[in-house]
Structure 1
Amino acid sequence: MRRLALPLSLLLAASAQAAPLKLEFWHAMDEAVVAGYAQAFNRSQTAYEVVPVAGGNYRELNDKLQKALASGKAPALAQVEFTRFARLAADGRLTDLSRLTDALPEGLTRDLYVPVWRAGEVGGKRYGLPWNVSVPVLMYNVGALRRAGVAAPGTWAEVETTSRTLATRGKRPLVATADAWTFEANVTSRGGSLVVNGRPNLNGPEAVEALTQLARMSAAGLAQPRRLSEATRAAFDFARGQNMFVGASVANWTDARRLPFFQLGIAPFPCGGAGACTVPLGGAHLVVPQGTPAQGQAGAVAFWQFLMDPARLAEWVKSTAYVPSRRSVTPLLNEWYAKNPQIRAAHAQLDRAVPRPTAPAFEEWTLLLEEAISQATTGKLSAKAALDEAQRKAEGR
């Protein structure tokens, strides 16, 4: 049989159509886990090839993405921590995915927890897709509390009274970390908010109340002030029992339980009073940078849908302790929750969770807030004065 000779241009065109579209995915998660998901997705279809690229921690990744956006070399898909997200959306750096997400099956979007799905919206448009979502918790030293005959505190008043019981032989039970997110949780747990109508509210009454307590406990030897840069030292002191309580993400459980010398316990984040006791969501969005071609946008959303498969999400939750973003995932976790009831209680906080503020300048305000926390807990300024100064700077005065 005579072979047909096709023009080279047609051969190249056919080859190009057959080749999957490569989509770089910049992330800050476990490299092996994400690589496994990408490989499974690539095997499941032939239109796209996701190429995961680990970018360090959130801050390193976000800074790298910012530079790539400025140079026009951004990936098709990236992970952006919540505090950076609103600024990128406001600056027109992210693709509005509303057209694609409006076409998603209702069974998927209605199954997502409302605050989790709403967190990806800015100005009524969809810029973020949920994946790794967390809630704050109170981590504690089980042995220290057991020996003292006290239970894990459920309110901020109980945190202070229990710390007095545990503050023996120079121990400072609570780690008062200058961390904006856990402080935000302290404020929301009291019914307050750091942002009101898009404006900074860093010195609102609930924030002053929260920081006044942390400063009072620090001055009394009940709390140990720590900056985020002191995380390693703080973890060591926590493991050896010098400190017994610390606010953290539920996702820190997977690493913290490996610390030697002690048994880790986690409890829902303390409530500030008799109000709703809401908690702010933590984590990151998956975003599509502006300028990504339509086919790349579709591929990014297709990969996200792959990650949202309930069985796959259930395994993701078990390996990371992030919250299940879909309601249908929870029944798949019953056996795992039975072995880890504290995680179940922590994840149940989703029912009273709220999205992070979407004011474009929120990230800048959190840096001012962390400085105020540090100044107040180290006795350099009163809580009110430190927060007033942060508010003044946030307002540009």
Structure 2
Amino acid sequence: MIFQDVIFVYRCGVPWTTLTCSASSTWSRGNCPTLLAVHVHAQVSVYGMSSHTYLVTGAAGFIGANYVHYVRQIEPDARIVVVDNLSFGSNIHNLDEVRDHITFIPADIADHAAMSDIYQRCRPDFLVNFAAESHNDRAIIDPSAFMRSNALGAQVLLECSREFPVRSHLHVSTIEVYGELGDGDAHFTESSPLNAKTPYSAAKAAGDQIVRAYMHTYPSMNIRMTHCANNYGAYQLPEKLLALAITNVLRGRKVPLYGDGQQRRDWLHVLDHCRGIHAALHADVAFDREAAATDPSHLPIFDLSARTELTNYAVVSAALRELNVDPTEWIEYVPDRPNHDKRYLIDPAKAETALGWKPTIPFADGIAETVRWYRDNTDWWEQVIEVKGELAFDWGADRQLLVDSMWGALGDRRVQGFQAV
């Protein structure tokens, strides 16, 4: 694959342009930039004005990229501006198929000066924030980066939407902010207390609390938030459970499974998730402030789920059977991750009623489609592994990582052998 360095010049109100730059270019930015220069391993072209402008942050990640593809499909005339800092979880090639129809700006959502300038120049109608550090295992090793993106970044975007008002501002969050669900409990709902147990989910919960505070304090901002079940589908990094299982088998490697594999998760195809996000973004979601003061279910918060609760073993087994291999021969059990949630499940009833949204992709069909995608896109995931390395630590062999990280001694020590779920 040929890589090309590009400079993205962004000027809202006139056609956007992409200029080739030298290989020595670096990302340079002042307090209020008019030009961004960055090394990018693909050319992303852009185009001019249209009726709606979407600003999508975290758009080079798994779910964000799928959402950009979705919006491009259902609103071909929309102007889509995407922002990503191209951190570990991002992959610019996730946007290759839409690169002629989007504007890409490399930026950190926690950088207020940069984001304020982007808002001022682009004047988005809609903001959708996918930007987050989301790797549970990596958060155990280095929690600080997660707080910057997931909490501070969320607040910076809210301030930008307050300074430069948008039609609606949607913050994408996760089921994990609710914590672990007891065996006797049916599900979490929008009124459930936040009870995060891990550094990742705590950082997301901090962002959620900031979003809720802005909902209460600035109701005219038209903010809404979603929580999603575990997603699966195209463009997911092969450190996550299903993507790791599929790519390991395609490479002739066994599939590591944490603990006894009986952790239970709620599963939702990423395209159903994207449809739910878009429905929430465009819905009329005026809320009763007095009722919401004591019951968060009255806030414009929507839990998105397909009501598909399965053990990790069952999920991996379904993928392996689709790959025509015997799960009992290809699964190997590895030491569990510290503080690993045993079960979580959310109820999508509010989203179904208020948004008219329902998932449409049965799990069996979604697994089959996902396996086909990874079979057909080996260049994509092989390049991810080549660039990022093996995407896992082994908690059995490398628990010293926890000790090392406390003293700042963590190096780039990657070992094959576990998944993040």
TM over 0.5: no
Structure ranking higher in helix proportion: 1
Q: TM-score, normalised by structure 2?
A: 0.30
- Larger relative contact order (Cα-Cα within 8 Å, sequence gap ≥ 6): 1
Q: TM-score, normalised by structure 1?
A: 0.31
Work out which of the two has the higher radius of gyration on C-alpha atoms and give 1 or 2.
1
